[in-house]
Structure 1
């Protein structure tokens, strides 16, 4: 929750995608939309297989094949307990 637009770059997503066998997970949870770290369309353009969750609503994104995809909204009510547990387990 940086509230810094552009905090996640396409270069970062490319790097994570290149370093791992699975597609990157991007959780751009800042809101309002104007404070989002990266927009879903930018993330999809960087890596079509990206798993993206947003803290704000966005319009549908266009996939490379032309199909439209709804953006998953990851509300902090749902996401933060799991992130906290995951961080605790990984200590």
Structure 2
């Protein structure tokens, strides 16, 4: 047999659960919560776009550097080696430049 105390406890628990669900539903439908979720979603969207465009800019800068600057550095190094070699040969031959 079920005691009256057991029925009362079950009834109280179901009332508590329904109250909690009603309150949580009310809070989740709050305009402040809705605005906060929307702001977070917008911030995530903007961050994703910013990261993507930054990655593209980095790719463009990197490939431009490799195509234009690295060959220039190599050529300047070769020119310096040629100048050093000419100075070395001039000092061996006794002529000054």
Q: Which has the larger radius of gyration?
A: 2
Q: TM-score, normalised by structure 1?
A: 0.23
Q: TM-score, normalised by structure 2?
A: 0.22
Compare the two structures and name the one with the higher strand fraction.
1
Compare the two structures and name the one with the higher helix fraction.
2
